[in-house]
Amino acid sequence: MKKGVILSPGVLAGVIPLVFLSLFYFYPLAGIFFKSFFSQGGLSLSSSGYVVQSKRMAGIVWFTLWQAGVSTALTLVIALPCAYVMATFHFRWKKVFMTLATIPFVLPTIVVAAAFQALAGEKGILGNMAPDQCLVMIFVAHMFYNFSVVLRITVGFWSAIGPQMKEAGAMLGARPVQIFFKITLPLLKPAIFAASFLVFIFCFSSFGVILILGGPGFSTIEVEIYRQAAHLFNLPVAAMLSLLQIVITFALMWIYTSLQKRLVQFSPETETLSARPPWGLMEKSMVAGCVGFIICFCLCPMLALVIKSLWYEGSLSFIFYRSLFYNVSGSIFYVPPVRAMGNSLMFATATLAMALAVGGCAAMVIHGARGRFARFLDPLFMLPLSTSAVTLGFGMIITLDTPPLNLRTSPFLVPVVHTLVAFPFVVRSVLPALRSIPHALREAAGMLGASPGKVWVHVDLPIIARALTVGAVFAFTVSLGEFGATLFTARPEYATIPVAIYRFLGQPGATNYGQAMAVSSLLMLVTATGFMVIEKLRPRGHEGF
Amino acid sequence: MKIRFGVFFLVLSVCVMCGCSRDSEKKETTSSPSPSAASAQSETEVKTPEPREIKEITLMTHDSFSVSAEVIALFEKEHNAKVIFLKAGDAGEALNKAILSRNNPLADVFYGIDNTFLSRALAADMFMPHPSVHLSHVDDALKLDPSQGLLPVDFGDVCINYDRQWFQNHDMLPPTMLEDLIKPRYKGLLVIENPATSSPGLAFLLATVSRFGEDGYLEFWKQLKANDVLITSGWKEAYWGKFSAASDGDRPLVVSYASSPAAEVFYAKEKPAQSPTGVVIGHGSAFRQIEFAGILKGTKQESLARALLDFLLSPSFQADIPLQMFVFPANKKASLPQVFQEHAAITKEPATLSPGRIQSHRDLWLSQWTELML
3-state SS, A278-334, equals CCHHHHHHHHHHHHHHHHHHHHHHHHHHHHHHHEECCEECCHHHHHCCCCCCCECCC
Separation of first and last alpha carbons in chain A: 37
CA distances from B241 to A112, A115, A121, B249 (A): 11, 10, 10, 6
CA-based angle B66:B68:B70, to the nearest 5?
A: 150
CB-based contact A110 B237, cutoff 8 Å: yes
Q: What is the DSSP letter of B185?
A: G
pLDDT at B15: 42
| Domains observed in chain A | 2-33+58-308+319-537 (1.10.3720.10)
Least confident piece of the model among A49-58, A165-174, B95-104, B215-224: A49-58
Least confident piece of the model among A124-128, A352-356, A486-490: A124-128
pLDDT of residue A267 exceeding 90, the answer is: no
Q: For residue A349, which residues of chain B lie inside 8 Å, CB to CB?
A: 15
Q: For residue B165, which residues of chain A lie inside 8 Å, CB to CB?
A: none
Residue among A495, A357, A309, A212 at smallest CA distance from B63? A495
pLDDT at A316: 86
Helix (H), strand (E) at residue A131: none
Backbone angles phi, psi at A283, to 5 degrees: -70, -35
pLDDT of residue B38 exceeding 70, the answer is: no
CB-based contact A506 B248, cutoff 8 Å: no
The residue of B7, B13, B60, B63 whose CB has the most chain A CBs within 10 angstroms, and thus the best one to mutate to test that interface, is B63
pLDDT at A265: 59
Least confident piece of the model among A38-47, A108-117, B97-106, B213-222: A38-47
How far is Cα A531 from Cα A520, in angstroms, rounded to an integer? 17
Least confident piece of the model among A218-227, B138-147, B175-184, B318-327: A218-227
| B215-274 pLDDT per residue, tens | 999 999 999 999 999 998 889 889 988 899 988 788 999 999 999 999 999 998 888 899
pLDDT at B168: 95
Residue among B55, B62, B144, B73 at smallest CA distance from B311? B73
pLDDT at B13: 45
For residue B291, the tally of other CB atoms under 10 A from its CB is 27
pLDDT at A353: 95
Residue A258 vs residue B90, higher pLDDT? B90
pTM of the model: 0.83
* ipTM > 0.90, yes or no: no
Percent of the residues in chain B that have a pLDDT greater than 70, as a whole number? 86
Q: Is B31 on the interface with A (CB under 8 A)?
A: yes
How far is Cα B94 from Cα B100, in angstroms, rounded to an integer? 10
Pinpoint the alpha helices (H) of A369-406.
371-382, 389-399
| A468-482 pLDDT per residue, tens | 888 898 899 888 887
pLDDT at A466: 77
pLDDT at A452: 81
pLDDT at A534: 80
pLDDT of residue A544 exceeding 70, the answer is: no
pLDDT of residue A240 exceeding 50, the answer is: yes
Instruction: Give the mean model confidence (pLDDT) for residues A270-275.
Output: 55
pLDDT at A66: 94
pLDDT at B140: 94
Residues 6+ apart with CB under 8 A from B46: none
Task: Report which residue type is found at A396.
Answer: M
Q: For residue A390, which residues of chain B lie inside 8 Å, CB to CB?
A: 93
Dump the DSSP string for B8-30. Answer: HHHHHHHHHHHHHHHHHHHHHHH
Residue among B184, B160, B161, B164 at smallest CA distance from B173? B164
**B109-114 and B287-296: which strand pairing?**
antiparallel
For residue A346, the tally of other CB atoms under 10 A from its CB is 16
Please name the member of A403, A412, A487 whose beta carbon is closest to the beta carbon of B22: A412
pLDDT of residue B47 exceeding 70, the answer is: no
Q: Which residue of A has its CA nearest to B107?
A: A409
Residues 6+ apart with CB under 8 A from B102: B124, B126, B297, B298
Q: Is B270 on the interface with A (CB under 8 A)?
A: no
**B157-287+347-373: CATH class:** alpha beta
Q: For residue B362, which residues of chain A lie inside 8 Å, CB to CB?
A: 232
CB-based contact A406 B30, cutoff 8 Å: yes
pLDDT of residue B5 exceeding 80, the answer is: no
Instruction: Give the mean model confidence (pLDDT) for residues A236-253.
Output: 89
pLDDT at A115: 80
Looking at the complex, report in whole angstroms how far the Cα of residue B66 sits from the nearest Cα belonging to chain A: 6
Percent of the residues in chain B that have a pLDDT greater than 90, as a whole number? 68
**B277-280 and B81-87: which strand pairing?**
unpaired
pLDDT of residue A6 exceeding 90, the answer is: no
Mean pLDDT of chain B: 86
Helix (H), strand (E) at residue A40: none
Q: How confident is the model at residue A266 (pLDDT cuts 50, 70, 90)?
A: low
Asked whether the beta carbons of B56 and B62 are under 8 A apart, the reply is no
Q: Is B148 on the interface with A (CB under 8 A)?
A: no
Looking at the complex, report in whole angstroms how far the Cα of residue B235 sits from the nearest Cα belonging to chain A: 9
Domain range annotation of chain B: 55-155+290-336, 157-287+347-373
Residue among A407, A427, A417 at smallest CA distance from A358? A427
Instruction: Give the mean model confidence (pLDDT) for residues A371-376.
Output: 74
Percent of the residues in chain A that have a pLDDT greater than 70, as a whole number? 86
Asked whether the beta carbons of B155 and B327 are under 8 A apart, the reply is yes
Residues 6+ apart with CB under 8 A from A367: A10, A431, A434, A435
For residue A315, the tally of other CB atoms under 10 A from its CB is 7
Report the sign of the C-alpha dihedral through residues A182, A184, A190, A194, in that order: negative
| A422-445 pLDDT per residue, tens | 998 899 888 878 887 888 888 888
Mean pLDDT of chain A: 82
- Which of A69-78, A138-147, B82-91 shows the highest mean pLDDT? A69-78
Q: Which residue of B has its CA nearest to A109?
A: B237
| A147-182 pLDDT per residue, tens | 988 998 888 778 777 677 778 888 888 888 888 888
Report the sign of the C-alpha dihedral through residues A435, A437, A438, A443, in that order: negative
Asked whether the beta carbons of A511 and A323 are under 8 A apart, the reply is yes
Instruction: Give the mean model confidence (pLDDT) for residues A349-369.
Output: 90
Asked whether the beta carbons of B88 and B94 are under 8 A apart, the reply is yes
3-state helix, strand, coil in chain B (%, to 5): 50, 20, 35
Domains B55-155+290-336 and B157-287+347-373 share a fold: yes
Q: How confident is the model at residue A111 (pLDDT cuts 50, 70, 90)?
A: confident
**B55-155+290-336: CATH class:** alpha beta
Q: Is B10 on the interface with A (CB under 8 A)?
A: no
pLDDT of residue B278 exceeding 50, the answer is: yes
pLDDT of residue B175 exceeding 90, the answer is: yes
CB-based contact A508 B267, cutoff 8 Å: yes
How far is Cα A516 from Cα B247, in angstroms, rounded to an integer? 13
pLDDT of residue B112 exceeding 90, the answer is: yes
Q: Is B90 left (phi over 0), alpha (psi -120 to 50) or beta?
A: beta
pLDDT of residue A486 exceeding 80, the answer is: no
Q: Is B163 on the interface with A (CB under 8 A)?
A: no
pLDDT of residue B163 exceeding 80, the answer is: yes
CB-based contact A211 B267, cutoff 8 Å: no
| B333-348 pLDDT per residue, tens | 999 999 999 999 889 8
Percent of the residues in chain A that have a pLDDT greater than 90, as a whole number? 19
pLDDT at B34: 40
Residue among B196, B254, B162, B308 at smallest CA distance from A216? B196
Task: Report which residue type is found at A182.
Answer: K
Q: How confident is the model at residue B129 (pLDDT cuts 50, 70, 90)?
A: very high
pLDDT at B177: 94
Q: Is the peptide bond before A415 cis (omega within 30 degrees of 0)?
A: no
- Which of A128-132, A171-175, A342-346 shows the highest mean pLDDT? A342-346
Task: Report which residue type is found at A103.
Answer: I
Asked whether the beta carbons of B355 and B144 are under 8 A apart, the reply is yes
pLDDT of residue A272 exceeding 80, the answer is: no
pLDDT at B371: 84
CB-based contact A511 B70, cutoff 8 Å: no
Least confident piece of the model among A141-145, A271-275, A328-332, B16-20: B16-20
pLDDT of residue A127 exceeding 90, the answer is: no
How far is Cα B4 from Cα B11, in angstroms, rounded to an integer? 11
Residue B39 vs residue A201, higher pLDDT? A201
How far is Cα A393 from Cα A402, in angstroms, rounded to an integer? 16
Separation of first and last alpha carbons in chain B: 60
Burial category of A258 from C-beta neighbours within 10 Å (exposed 0-12, middle 13-18, buried 19 and up): exposed
For residue A524, the tally of other CB atoms under 10 A from its CB is 20
Task: Report which residue type is found at A539.
Answer: P
Q: How confident is the model at residue A354 (pLDDT cuts 50, 70, 90)?
A: very high
Residue A433 vs residue B369, higher pLDDT? B369
pLDDT of residue B10 exceeding 50, the answer is: no
